[in-house]
Amino acid sequence: MISMIKHDIKIDESFYKIEEVRQLTDETFSLKLPKARFAFKAGQHISLGIHGDYQSREYSIYSGADDENLEVLVKEVENGYFTPKLRKLKAGDLVEIHGPFGKFGMEPHLAETGKFVFIASGTGIAPFRSMVRTYPEIDYTLIHGVRYSKEAYDRNEYAEDRYVLCSSRDQKGTYQGRLTGYLKNCTFAPETHFYLCGNSDMIFDALEILKDKGFERDQIHCEVYF
Amino acid sequence: MRRNVNPENRTVNLNNTKKIAFKTLGCRLNQYETDALVTDFDKAGYQLVGVDESPDVVVVNTCTVTNQSDQKSRTTISQAARANTNAVVVVTGCMANNFKEKLESQDNITFVVENNRKSSILSLVDAHFSGEILHPDQLPQDVFRYEPVQKSLHTRSAVKIQDGCDNFCTFCIIPMVRGRAVSRPVAEVLESVRKTIENGFKEIVITGVNIGRYEAGEAHFEDLLAQILEVPGDFRVRISSLEPDGFGERFVDLFRHPKLMPHLHLCLQSGSDRTLLRMRRMYDVQQFRKTIKLFRSVYPDFNFTTDIIVGFPGETEDEFQETMDAVKEFNFSHVHTFKYSVRRGTRAERLENHVSEKIKTERSAQIRDLSEKNKKQYFASFLGKTEEVLIEKVTQGIANGYGEHYIPVRFKASGAQKNTVRPVILTEIRGAGENMYLFGELND
Ligand SMILES: Cc1cc2nc3c(=O)[nH]c(=O)nc-3n(C[C@H](O)[C@H](O)[C@H](O)COP(=O)(O)OP(=O)(O)OC[C@H]3O[C@@H](n4cnc5c(N)ncnc54)[C@H](O)[C@@H]3O)c2cc1C
Ligand code: SF4
């Protein structure tokens, strides 16, 4: 007899086969997956699991909302639980994805008309790549803080005059030093929308600087990774 | 033989002689869901009894938000099972999601039902008694399937408008056990409110996991609230706990409505911006301050209560002091203080600099002392004033209930009945700590 009770979740919907692992630095890589089977707004994140492992982690979506591939950017954390396992994955392996989640992002009409400053540390650049790919006309400046300039992931995708690289441990950035050092000397239009993404210490310091410059907390949006 | 079961089929079995008992732990949402289950089972002819009255079925609705709640849930399950060895033991709630396999392997538990299938427990139990083999995983998944509460364990009834949360605060297990945020359609909520009032309730509490994030079609939380307040009838509306997520003047204005009670439980969690960021909270102290000021500029005696977590990983003495300052400044009349406890699988589990138990205990005591002072001061501001009190029970001639501001009030009943609203002039603060209340006299 056939069961009449419907199961609402189709399990296979959430599994994606890795198409390519793009190695960006020794520690950082992107996982290129098939096109997302869900609609998302640039800036949102997903939770990613490995088949057979009970843990999962959140990752900002690195690709644009209309891109042919869903992509995430991952940095392997030394002694981390999850990223060393992710690092071992190859094209053809399966990952489980749930989402999209989160409110980090802007409404499409604002993306077309607003003025934006994106502030990222390390892999915190991920949601901004998604925004820039989704809204090609967006008026932005991206301030990216890294230790070494090789961590300027996919730098050539950003217009040169919109991308500011702050590298603290080599001389090859637009600015040499922490991004907060750079930020202190900047001036921004009063109506700017700020988006901050990365570790909480950087976000705290950047928030203080922006508040000191007279910006309201309501015009500053934050996505904390750790 | 395995038979098909139609979970929609909820006929009353007049020959039902089965007895059922409930044990509920945790939040108001869990309490509401138990109340809705009580209504289901009552309609189906089951007799509601205590766990010590030889029930045929015991439902334990668990909580897993802290280690203490895990422990309490475990103890409740084993006590209920031990006292009722022949009973069907159903374990549901957040612990059933978080520790499903472990619970399923326990011999003393008959069924483990996850949150999203909780509303169909009656179908499961009915099937069990009629000899059908039905696994909880076959129950439909619907977090809003609940009937409006009719028979409650309380005088106040909740109405669930939303479930789940995807904020992923770093300390919180709820996104893992309650799933992603979903909102109940406006029409369904309004129908549930109407029925709940028809069922005789004088006060409804709008409930969910993160209700400020309510979003159904075009309707946001404020839109829904405005419509609830316009439902005809003589009832009061309360809002269960809220995340301090960008409320504006429209929300403040809604409190002018006589049905909406002047109290909010706004979860601050910490008074330090650094700690708030490590918690991945979406606001800072200044935004919280703005909300409080906005309310108090319009309603000076508005009651704010809150949750505070002490000893979050990396919380320095200075950061804790900022929390103390905030609790003092915002004059919360009650602070629900939690000592931070690690939840497996949360991001905070992997944060550095965990705080020792000794420091957590000290900090928690400090917050509690301060909270008690605040409460006394707040209660004192009501002496000589009159509050409309909804009577929850009358024992030995003394009526107990809550005033509009959600302050506990007792007074000589002088014939006043349970589930009625009466004006009471407040004359005295009695009791201490958690048991502090205002005593008064009927002022008809
Ligand atoms: C909403 C959200 C989006 C995120 N998006 C991304 C993303 O796009 N790319 C990404 O690489 N990570 C992202 N993260 C972090 C990610 O979820 C994991 O925490 C990270 O991959 C480490 O996992 P792990 O198990 O290896 O480390 P764990 O064993 O969990 O150890 C955690 C420790 O690793 C360090 N750490 C965590 N994330 C990073 C990081 N990105 N760079 C350097 N150090 C880190 C911190 O010290 C943290 O305490 C995001 C987190 C959140 C909450
Ligand atoms: S807002 Fe944060 S604390 Fe509240 S349920 Fe969601 S994740 Fe948990």
Cα dihedral A45, A47, A51, A54, rounded to 10, equals 160
Q: What is the pLDDT of residue B211?
A: 95
Given 3-state DSSP classes, what are the helix, strand and coil percentages for chain B, each rounded to the nearest 5? 35, 25, 40
- State which of A26, A59, A195 you would mutate to test the pocket of ligand 1, scoring each by most atoms of that ligand within 8 A of its C-beta: A59
Which has the minimum average pLDDT: B7-16, B121-130, B273-282, B338-347? B7-16
Q: Which chain A residues are within 8 Å of B286, Cβ to Cβ?
A: 217
Pick from A81, A80, A63: nearest CA to A72: A63
Pick from B412, B266, B238: nearest CA to B331: B266
Q: What is the pLDDT of residue A54?
A: 79
pLDDT of residue B10 exceeding 90: no
Kindly list the domain boundaries of chain A, sorted by start residue: 15-101, 108-225
- State which of A57, A62, A76, A130 you would mutate to test the pocket of ligand 1, scoring each by most atoms of that ligand within 8 A of its C-beta: A57
Are the C-beta atoms of A29 and A23 separated by less than 8 Å? Answer: yes
* Domain covering A108-225 in this structure, CATH number: 3.40.50.80
The one-letter amino acid at A119: I
- State which of A29, A40, A83 you would mutate to test the pocket of ligand 1, scoring each by most atoms of that ligand within 8 A of its C-beta: A83
pLDDT of residue B4 exceeding 70: no
Q: pTM of the predicted model, to two decimals?
A: 0.88
Q: What is the pLDDT of residue B135?
A: 87
Residue B308 C-alpha to ligand 2 middle, in angstroms?
13
**Given its phi and psi angles, is residue B139 left (phi above 0), alpha (psi -120 to 50 degrees) or beta?**
beta
Q: Tell me, which fold does domain B386-442 have in CATH?
A: OB fold (Dihydrolipoamide Acetyltransferase, E2P) (2.40.50)
Kindly list the domain boundaries of chain B, sorted by start residue: 19-138, 157-380, 386-442
B2-7, long-range: CB < 8 A, 24+ apart: B2/A1, B2/B132, B2/B133, B3/A1, B3/B132, B3/B133, B4/A1, B4/A3, B4/A4, B4/A5, B5/A5, B5/B123, B5/B127, B5/B132, B5/B134, B5/B138, B6/A4, B7/A5, B7/B120, B7/B123, B7/B139, B7/B140
Q: What is the pLDDT of residue B151?
A: 64
Instruction: Compute the distance between CA of residue B149 and CA of residue B201 in angstroms, rounded to an integer.
Output: 9
Q: What is the pLDDT of residue A23?
A: 97
Option in B6, B139, B345 nearest A4 (CB): B6
Cβ–Cβ gap A8/B140 under 8 Å: yes
Q: What is the pLDDT of residue B13?
A: 52
Residues B192-211 pLDDT 10s: 999 999 989 999 999 999 99
pLDDT of residue B179 exceeding 90: no
Pick from B55, B38, B175, B371: nearest CA to A45: B175
Q: What is the pLDDT of residue B444?
A: 84
Q: What is the pLDDT of residue B154?
A: 67
CATH architecture of A15-101: Beta Barrel (2.40)
- Quote the DSSP letter at residue B404: T
Residues B342-378 pLDDT 10s: 988 899 998 999 999 999 999 999 999 999 999 999 9
Would you place residue B11 in the very low, low, confident or very high pLDDT band (cuts 50, 70, 90)? very low
The one-letter amino acid at B207: T
Residues B223-270 pLDDT 10s: 999 999 999 999 999 998 999 987 889 999 999 999 999 999 999 999
Q: What is the pLDDT of residue B426?
A: 98
Q: What is the pLDDT of residue B172?
A: 94
Q: Which chain A residues are within 8 Å of B246, Cβ to Cβ?
A: 218
- The ipTM (two decimal places) reads 0.90
Residue B14 C-alpha to ligand 1 middle, in angstroms?
58
Splitting chain A (226 residues) into consecutive groups of 10 residues, what average pLDDT does each group show? 40 88 98 97 96 88 98 96 95 95 94 97 98 98 98 97 97 95 97 97 97 95 96
What is the least distance, in Å, from the CA of A176 to any CA of chain B?
A: 26
Would you place residue B422 in the very low, low, confident or very high pLDDT band (cuts 50, 70, 90)? very high
Option in A3, A8, A200 nearest B141 (CB): A8
Q: Which chain B residues are within 8 Å of A198, Cβ to Cβ?
A: none
Pick from A144, A123, A89, A98: nearest CA to B179: A98
Smallest-distance ligand from the CA of B307: 2
- How confident is the prediction for chain B on average, in pLDDT? 92
Q: Ligand 2: does its nearest atom lie under 6 Å from the Cβ of B139?
A: no
Residues B165-176 pLDDT 10s: 989 999 999 988
What is the least distance, in Å, from the CA of A111 to any CA of chain B?
A: 21
State the residue for tokens 């990216």: A144
Which chain A residue has the Cα nearest residue B1?
A1
pLDDT of residue B86 exceeding 50: yes
Residues B48-68 pLDDT 10s: 999 999 999 999 999 998 888
pLDDT of residue B414 exceeding 80: yes
Which chain A residue has the Cα nearest residue B136?
A5
What is the least distance, in Å, from the CA of A5 to any CA of chain B?
A: 6
Instruction: Compute the distance between CA of residue B310 and CA of residue B326 in angstroms, rounded to an integer.
Output: 13
Which has the minimum average pLDDT: B8-22, B319-333, B408-422? B8-22
Q: What is the pLDDT of residue B6?
A: 38
Query: Domain B157-380 maps to which CATH number in 3.30.420.40, 3.20.20.70, 3.80.30.20, 1.10.3720.10?
Result: 3.80.30.20
Would you place residue B153 in the very low, low, confident or very high pLDDT band (cuts 50, 70, 90)? low
Across B281-296, average pLDDT: 95
Higher pLDDT, B136 or B390: B390
Disruptive mutation site among B100, B142, B277 for chain A (greatest number of A CBs within 10 Å): B277
Residues A4-60 pLDDT 10s: 334 444 557 899 999 999 999 999 999 999 999 999 999 999 999 998 887 889 999
Q: Tell me, which fold does domain B19-138 have in CATH?
A: Rossmann fold (3.40.50)
Torsions phi, psi of B344, nearest 5? -60, 135
Across B410-419, average pLDDT: 95
